[in-house]
């Protein structure tokens, strides 16, 4: 039995829940991008191996590599927050194609190491804080509670605001957690 079914005593399908969108990060892909030659001049289309470590694709509307369902809005980007903070939905932009090989952030990044989080953040205090916010959690190991605590990460809204202001992705929606499953 999977973690979801175990926690909720039913399957996602039985609740009418289906995968809406899935995206990879920390991946290398062969893609075609416009590259300015070393001596300058007009950009030239080149096939490149783009390795996104700590990043994800941010392709703009009408890009041939994104599914037809997203052609009018651009590639959706789900930027996960922490167990106790919001997550953001962004879309790709033309500016991302020009400046970052069609890439933007995929998360906020850690503010402190997993070891430091385990040493300084009490799982009981983290769970109590989440409960005060009305957030339920199911976790396989108590050490994950401290490692993945909101204080272990940078502010996801600030990171997404920076990407939005830089023009490499556009903010669309903010989502607040009501349940967390860490396996």
Least Cα distance to 108 among 61, 148, 48, 167 occurs for: 148
Active-site residue, 51 included: no
Q: Which residue has the tokens 């790709």?
A: 92
Catalytic residue among 33, 51, 63, 106: 106
Q: Residue 55 class from Cβ within 10 Å (0-12 exposed, 13-18 middle, 19+ buried)?
A: buried
Q: What is the 3-state secondary structure (H, E, C) of 62-111?
A: CCCCCCHHHCCCCCEEEEECCCCCCEEEEECCHHHHHHHCCEEECECCEC
Contact 137, 180 (CB under 8 A): yes
Label the pairing between strands 179-182 and 136-139.
parallel
For residue 74, how many other CB atoms are within 10 A of its CB? Answer: 23
Q: Residue 167 class from Cβ within 10 Å (0-12 exposed, 13-18 middle, 19+ buried)?
A: middle
- Catalytically active residues, by annotation: 106
């Amino acid at each position: 039995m999977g973690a979801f079914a175990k926690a909720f005593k039913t399957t996602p399908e039985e609740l009418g829940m289906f995968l809406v969108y899935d995206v990879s990060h920390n991946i290398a892909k062969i893609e075609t991008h416009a590259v300015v030659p070393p001596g300058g001049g007009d950009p030239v289309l080149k096939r490149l191996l783009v390795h996104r470590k700590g990043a994800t694709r941010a392709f703009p509307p009408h890009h041939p590599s994104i599914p037809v369902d997203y052609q009018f809005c651009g590639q959706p980007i789900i930027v996960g927050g922490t167990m106790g903070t919001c997550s953001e939905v962004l879309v790709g932009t033309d500016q991302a194609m020009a400046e970052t090989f069609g890439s933007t952030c995929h998360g906020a990044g850690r503010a402190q190491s997993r070891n430091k989080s385990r040493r300084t953040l009490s799982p009981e205090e983290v769970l109590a804080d989440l409960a005060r916010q009305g957030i339920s959690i199911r976790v396989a190991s108590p050490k994950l509670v401290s490692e993945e605590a909101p204080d272990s990460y940078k502010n996801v809204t600030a990171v997404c605001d920076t990407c939005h202001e830089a023009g490499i992705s556009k903010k669309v929606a903010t989502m607040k957690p009501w349940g967390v499953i860490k396996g």
